[in-house]
Amino acid sequence: MLFKNHFLLACFITVIATCLFAEEISAQQWQMVGTRKFTTGRTTLDGKNLTVVNGTPYIAYSDNTDNFNLKVMKYNGLNWVDVGPASLPIGGAGPPSITSDNGIIYIAYQDQTYNGKNSVIKYDGTTWTFIGNRGFSPDEARFQSIAFNNGEPYVAFEDKDSSYESSVMKYDGTNWVYLGSPGFTTGHSVGQSIYNEIAFDNGIPYVIYMSVGGSSVGPPIYETKVMKYDGTNWVPVGTTGYNNAGSANQSIAFHNGAPYFSFLDFDYFKATVKTFDGNNWVDVGMPGFSAGMAIQPQMVIHNGVPYVAY
């Protein structure tokens, strides 16, 4: 089955925006960016699907009413319009991860034409081209997350070739190569890692992920974990991550060298934010603070203040 075992959110995309300056929030209202439900078909979202380039928002999605073709749109100030062809001629795509570097759009996705392996494409303003080989991972890859450091793209993903643990690959200008050991995450006795997100702080790559495990006969165990690359190995940030009733859909950000993450907290089925104080992961404010269930919370930090959208 296409995208087997994915948590899929099928919907029409709506984008809203507001000013993030704390002193102006009381005077601002959430406003629709363009029209509601501007996509032509139902969309599959699972990961980072929005980026902003020079003030212009871009979205990427897999259209499950068009054979899961990858589509990219931007808001031109009046309407949401296609970036390149309405359907990229690449075949079926898993839920994409989009980012930008020096004004160029990059997308990592699960490439169904290449047996579900990793592929990365970029848009130079005229055409879409592949970065390195298409389908560059050894085996099936899911839950892609793409980020840049010093002009080099990095992709974190769930790596079937490494027992469904997380791996990171980077493009060295010629080939996609592993950063550190593949499958560096540590699940439980029966485990896998999903919902990866890679981010950089002062050139140091961090990966946050949800570890899924448990015994073969018991209920599954869900736990958010964070690891960073020390130049040689991937090492855990903290001891065991966050272990409670469970957690999912995490997002990571940084302030003054400290990592923060937001997540769906299974103790409350609401959003919680934690930060690492150098020894332990501690709550930022009250846990379970959202008014309702927080699906796929995304976090940024502006002027030292964390903001969470969900």
Q: Is the predicted pLDDT of residue 12 greater than 60, yes or no? A: no
- Categorize the per-residue pLDDT at 284 as very low, low, confident or very high, splitting at 50, 70 and 90: very high
Closest CA to 210 of 221, 191, 226, 223: 223
- Mean pLDDT, the chain, rounded, equals 82
Q: Are 111 and 62 in contact (CB under 8 A)?
A: no
Q: How many CA atoms lie within 13 Å of 284's alpha carbon, on the beta-carbon side?
A: 22
Of 229 and 295, the one with more pLDDT: 229
Q: Where are the domains of the chain?
A: 1-136, 187-310
CATH number 2.120.10.10 given to 187-310:
yes
| Residues β-bridged to residue 9 | 45
Q: Give the model confidence (pLDDT) of 211-270 as tens digits.
A: 877 666 667 777 888 999 999 999 999 875 555 556 667 889 999 999 999 988 888 889
Strands 305-309 and 298-302: antiparallel
- Cβ neighbours for 107, distance < 8 A, ≥ 6 positions apart: 60, 70, 72, 96, 97, 98, 120, 121, 122, 146
Q: Is the predicted pLDDT of residue 91 greater than 50, yes or no? A: yes
